[in-house]
Amino acid sequence: MKPPKSIQITAIGSYAPPKVVTNYDLSHMVDTSDAWIHSHTGIRERHVADEEESTSNLAYRAIEDLLESYNLKASNIDGIVCATATPDYPGFPSVACMIAEQFGITGPALDVSAGCTGFIYALEVARAMIATGSMKNALVVGAEKLSGVVDWKDRNTCVLFGDGAGCALLEPSEEETGFIDTLLKAEAAGTKALTIHPEKHAIEMDGRAVYSFAVRTIGSTIETLVKRNNLAMEDIDWIVPHQANQRIIQACSKRYGIPEEKFYMNIDRFANTSAASIPLALREMDRAGLLKKGQKILMVGFGAGLTYGGTLLTWTY
Ligand code: ACO
């Protein structure tokens, strides 16, 4: 099979559960305050799913948003790659298979587990599978119900996370545009800094270690992708980072001399939604008319593993 000239993102969707928990609400549950949470993270509120709502339900709604907003039919979708750290079941069925069944999608369906870098990893898995002909096109989903793996009595972690889902449709094209370059990395020596404890079933994190890892790897990923594609920072229209902490982005901007206004941030309203944070941000930018044909967009993520990575692309619509 002749590989397509390029692979493009041609549609985006998202979903956040309607229930909003503010910092003020949390201050009645643990010893914390809006002032502490906002000054340390940039977060004001987060969306939290109902108990019976699962990760695959959130993913389903995000895909519904994509199909309805772009007037597309599920019967035209071939495959699904879903990034999640919070699948409905610990083994099978995967979230991707559950969604495939609900939408009647019969091509490849698989989950990718790369923590908060999951969406970046999943984009590359889907891109490569389309390029080699294993899939005609793909929905790449990032979906998380982190409220189910948070110890709501631990103020160190419960204030940081939220629930949501986002997705992008990847399609081949004969135009020379779309995905330009991807960098995927892991520093497995840091695994213990961020885990879901198997018995407690709750996120445990060495916040400081993750913080410095994030500042270093976001900065180096952006620099590498810009330099090795013979671009300058001015050529990048938007950096869409994993939304974990506003201070991480501010520190990265200062250390690497990247203008802070290039980073799109919405952590104030969603908190950290792990693999869902980048597509949730993209969909918000899409709705606000911030994404325009020809723009250079750089997505960058980091998270459990420890993993990190980035994708550089030209926006095509
Ligand atoms: N409210 C009030 N006080 C708090 C809270 C809270 N919610 N949480 C912690 N504190 C206290 C601590 O107990 C500590 O008190 P002490 O000095 O009496 O011991 C004090 O605040 C300072 O705690 P630190 O952990 O040093 O605070 P820090 O400034 O490092 O901020 C934070 C903590 C926000 C977690 C920061 O380290 C961070 O953002 N790290 C990166 C986290 C991250 O990116 N996680 C993403 C995970 S990857 C993924 O996305 C899944």
Domain identity same for 271 and 309: yes
First to last CA, the chain: 27
DSSP state of 92: S
CA nearest to 102, candidates 130, 127, 77: 77
Domain identity same for 168 and 183: no
Nearest CA to ligand 1 atom 15: 156
156 Cα–ligand 1 center, Å: 5
Q: Give 91's pLDDT tier (boundaries 50, 70, 90).
A: confident
Q: Give 121's pLDDT tier (boundaries 50, 70, 90).
A: very high
Q: How many domains does the chain have?
A: 2
DSSP labels, 254-314: HHHT--GGGB---HHHH-B-GGGHHHHHHHHHHHTT---TT-EEEEEEEETTTEEEEEEEE
Percent of the chain topping pLDDT 70? 100
Contact 281, 266 (CB under 8 A): yes
Domain identity same for 159 and 218: no
Query: How large is the average pLDDT for residues 90-97?
Result: 93
Query: What is the C-alpha separation between 269 and 162, in angstroms, rounded?
Result: 9
Domain identity same for 56 and 72: yes
Provide the 10 A C-beta neighbour count for residue 273: 33
Domain identity same for 152 and 197: no
Domain identity same for 165 and 187: no
**Residue that finishes a domain, picked among 116, 143, 173:** 173
Q: Give 153's pLDDT tier (boundaries 50, 70, 90).
A: very high
Nearest CA to ligand 1 atom 37: 207
Q: What is the pLDDT of residues 50-59, one digit of tens each?
A: 999 999 999 9
Domain identity same for 209 and 165: no
Tell whether ligand 1 has an atom less than 6 A from the beta carbon of residue 40.
Answer: yes
272 is known as an active-site residue: yes
| Residue 1 is assigned to a structural domain of this protein | no
Dihedral of alpha carbons 291, 16, 310, 184, sign:
negative
Q: What is the pLDDT of residues 180-220, one digit of tens each?
A: 999 999 999 899 999 998 888 899 999 999 999 999 999 99
Q: What is the pLDDT of residues 264-293, one digit of tens each?
A: 999 999 999 999 999 999 999 999 999 999
Domain identity same for 18 and 167: yes
Helix axis angle for 55-69 and 95-103, nearest 10°, is 50
| Residue 143 is assigned to a structural domain of this protein | yes
207 Cα–ligand 1 center, Å: 6
Domain identity same for 120 and 70: yes
Q: What is the pLDDT of residues 217-259, one digit of tens each?
A: 999 999 999 999 999 999 999 999 999 999 999 999 999 999 9
Domain identity same for 148 and 189: no
Nearest CA to ligand 1 atom 48: 303
Sheet holding 6-15, edge to edge: 6-15, 163-173, 138-145, 79-83, 109-112
Query: How large is the average pLDDT for residues 23-31?
Result: 98
Residues of 148-163 as b/e, b for ≥16 C-beta within 10 angstroms?
A: bbbbeeebebbbbbbb
The catalytic residue among 116, 158, 167, 252 is 116
**Residue that finishes a domain, picked among 121, 140, 173:** 173
Q: Is the pTM of this model over 0.85?
A: yes
Domain identity same for 204 and 131: no
Q: What is the CATH number of the domain that holds 304?
A: 3.40.47.10
Nearest CA to ligand 1 atom 45: 244
| Residue 151 is assigned to a structural domain of this protein | yes
Angle CA 241–243–244, to nearest 5: 125
Domain identity same for 72 and 208: no
Query: What is the C-alpha separation between 142 and 240, in angstroms, rounded?
Result: 14
242 is known as an active-site residue: yes
The whole-number pLDDT of residue 260 equals 97
**Residue that finishes a domain, picked among 173, 197, 221:** 173
| Residue 163 is assigned to a structural domain of this protein | yes
| Residue 266 is assigned to a structural domain of this protein | yes
Query: What is the C-alpha separation between 221 and 226, in angstroms, rounded?
Result: 9
Boundaries of domain holding 155: 6-173
Tell whether ligand 1 has an atom less than 6 A from the beta carbon of residue 42.
Answer: no
Q: Give 3's pLDDT tier (boundaries 50, 70, 90).
A: confident
pLDDT at residue 176 is higher than 90: no
